[in-house]
Structure formats: structure tokens, C-alpha cells
Amino acid sequence: MGHMTEGSPEQKERDWLAREVILAAGLTDRDRIRILCDLLETADAIRKCKTPEELQRDEAVRIALDREPGLNRYRALAERVG
């Protein structure tokens, strides 16, 4: 993607993430644990609703992202927003 300009989707996402980091800095350990538990429960509920074919496709995507070039694409995204 090109460079970030004011109002660009990339800049808006970066600004949103920066605000989220500031908010997260004020969380207690108890808050963080509750949030992580909620995320695990949500992921589990989503997984239980999927067909075997959807689960197989999800696993294929996970494997692709763990390898090259998926990992490189993920790193590039992290660098752009980080």
C-alpha cells in the first residue's frame, strides 16, 4: 500500500489502534484476564457453530499464515500499523 495520508484508511486504523493502546494501558490484570477469557469463550462458540468443511478451511488458512508468504504479509501489516 502507499504512504499514509491524513484521513486515509491506514491512518484511521493507526489512530484507532493508538487510542486502543492508551485505553488498554489503564486496564488492571483482572480486566485483562476477563477480556482474554471472553475471547476464548467467543472463539469456542464460533468454532462450535462451524461445519467440518469450514473448520478444515480455517485450519488451511492458519497453516498458510504460519508459513511464507503469509507470515511475511502479516509482518508487513504489523509494521504498517505499528
pTM above 0.95, yes or no: no
> Please, what are the averages of pLDDT over each run of 10 residues along the chain (82 residues)?
71 92 92 94 95 94 76 80 76
User: Taking the alpha carbons of 55, 77, 20, 3 in that order, is the dihedral positive or negative?
Assistant: negative
Is the N-terminal amide bond of 69 cis, ω within 30° of 0?
Answer: yes
Query: Please, are residues 32 and 23 in contact by the beta-carbon 8 Å criterion?
Result: no
* pLDDT value of residue 3: 60
